[in-house]
Amino acid sequence: MSWIKLIMNWINLKILLMMNKSILRKSLLLKRSKVKNRSKNEFKIFQRLETIINNNSLVVAGYLSVRSEVNLNLFLNFLLKNKFSLCLPYINKLKSPLIFKKFIMNTKLVRGKYNIMHPNNEIILIPNIILIPLVGFDESKNRIGYGGGYYDRTIECLEKKK
């Protein structure tokens, strides 16, 4: 088989994988939007997170839910009441790692890129723990996000700084 055919087969495989991931993402979003007992499930998530995070010297990056994402408000309030440092993601530049801005009670929020609300301040924190929204998981239990790669780039960047 010629190099050109090998390259074309590889390109076709990549395109097929991307299409399958896109179809899977749409299917998972539809399933997630139909979840029943949402608040009961969110409370179970809160209870599990509460047992994991027991050191209030940690900096936790959360998120404010959009669409049918898990609503973390109960857990974020728990963190604030228990004196954890909390931050929220901010997209400074497209296709760049996220920046995490400090969030405290009554922090003014503004709408940013992709309609994501973020703190209206310039206090940047480096999180020890990042709570990441997701669409679902593939068969290999890899996280499927919205396809922008922001959290992937952010984690890669933070790991390099260690």
- Distance, CA of 60 to CA of 102 (rounded, Å): 10
pLDDT average, residue stretch 93-112: 94
Q: Residues 121, 144, 25, 52: is their CA dihedral positive or negative? A: negative
Looking at the structure, do residues 117 and 75 belong to the same domain, yes or no? yes
Query: The domain containing residue 21 runs over which residues?
Result: 1-34
Phi-psi sector, 62: left (phi>0), alpha (psi -120 to 50), beta:
beta
The CB-side HSE value for 12 (13 A sphere, CA atoms) comes to 6
Indicate the pTM of the whole model: 0.74
Q: What is the pLDDT of residue 149?
A: 92
- Pair (106, 87) in one structural domain: yes
Q: Number of folded domains in the chain?
A: 2
Q: Say yes or no: 13 and 51 in one domain.
A: no
CB 80 within 8 A of CB 105: yes
Give the relative orientation of helices 38-52 and 73-81 as an angle to the nearest 10 degrees. Answer: 30
Residue-wise pLDDT tens digits, 80-99: 998 899 999 999 999 999 99
- Residue 130, domain CATH: 3.40.50.10420
Same domain, 92 and 65: yes
Confidence of residue 154 (pLDDT cuts 50, 70, 90): very high
Residues 18 and 98 in one domain: no
